[in-house]
Amino acid sequence: GAGRAFSAGGDLKMFYDGRESEDSCLEVVYRMYWLCYHIHTYKKNQVALVHGISMGGGASLMVPMKFSVVTEKTVFATPEASIGFHTDCGFSYMLSHLPGCLGEYLALTGARLGGMELVAAGLATHFVPLEKFPELEKCLVSLNSGDEAAVKTAIEEFSKNVQIEEESILNKQSIIDECFSKDSVEEIIKSFEAEASKEGNAWIGAVLKGLKRSSPTGLKITLRSIREGRKQTLAECLKKEFRLTMNILRTTISGDVYEGIRALTIDKDNFPKWNPSTLDKVGKETLDLVFQPFKEDLELNIPDKEECRWGGKYENSAYTLKMSNEPK
């Protein structure tokens, strides 16, 4: 990525524009998850040069790569819960495998990590100062080999050791684990509030404010998805996330995703009106509706065993057959 953003939020306007049409984004969503599977399982060496903002689904083009190179200008976040969506594109798998409850924290709060923090957390592989990026890219392009050792050696010529700052969220792991290990979003917030009153924890105030502004539905879906992700394979996570994405876009239990996109990216009034408006009104039975499996032929058709290549493109799915048989 060369410029202000590596990849972030490009699908939000598309989702919003298609809100009145039934499954207008289904093909794009299906193809995106197909791509996510391939990025995770691809055998050849892939390198992401991440300059600028890398958030949400855009970050799925960074984290699973064999080599992901970040700079002092790289900014990562998974802020989807705040707008009534969920951590998708494989992040219920990736975040759930971070140390302790760091995954829950990043997913629910949308907290941002910088380049050095990403390497320290294991979400990127190398830190290279931005001024060295052009030279690094030239070096990689001129390599005569795609061999892993050769690529790694080339990147390491330009990389430097990371050192996170004292105030980094990665140095707050004990507080995060204490609060974000709770069973529910309500309990997490209550525990976090208790920690905020203690000396030296002033940083919690702004995080709490963001949590309380977020979509109750988005927060509850996201927490459950991350927790399930710890016990699921990559394929199971992607299948689940496909269901969640489609059910959220279909407003199965709430239209929060469209309200969130409107308030934050369209009208930019930053004043979303959530429905339901409070966490206590989003019960387990309600959540079950978006997590429920589809009919087998309408699931994301991912193989259970990781293979080098997979032919399960959108064109080969039951969705295209269904559409072609519908009366014009």
Residue 10 designated active-site: yes
Of 56, 58, 80, 218, the catalytic one is 80
Question: Are 88 and 57 a contacting pair, CB within 8 Å?
Answer: yes
Please tell me whether the peptide bond between 272 and the residue prior to it is cis, using omega within 30 degrees of 0: no
User: Taking Cα atoms as reference points, which of 96, 52, 135, 32 lies closest to residue 233?
Assistant: 96
Residue 88 designated active-site: yes
Phi, psi at 126, each rounded to 5°: -140, 145
Question: Three-state DSSP class for 151?
Answer: helix
Handedness of CA 275, 243, 250, 63 (dihedral sign): positive
Question: Are 70 and 119 a contacting pair, CB within 8 Å?
Answer: yes
Q: How many CB atoms lie within 10 A of CB 137?
A: 15
Of 11, 56, 58, 88, the catalytic one is 88
HSE-up (13 A, CA, CB side) for residue 68: 25
Residue 104 designated active-site: no
Cα 57 from Cα 80, distance rounded (Å): 9
Residue 17 designated active-site: no
Of 1, 57, 58, 110, the catalytic one is 57
Residue owning tokens 């939000």 = 12
Summary count for the chain: helices (H), strands (E): 15, 7
Question: Are 128 and 72 a contacting pair, CB within 8 Å?
Answer: no
Of 10, 122, 205, 311, the catalytic one is 10
User: Taking Cα atoms as reference points, which of 250, 235, 251 lies closest to residue 300?
Assistant: 235
Cα 113 from Cα 127, distance rounded (Å): 13
> Which residues form the catalytic set?
10, 57, 80, 88
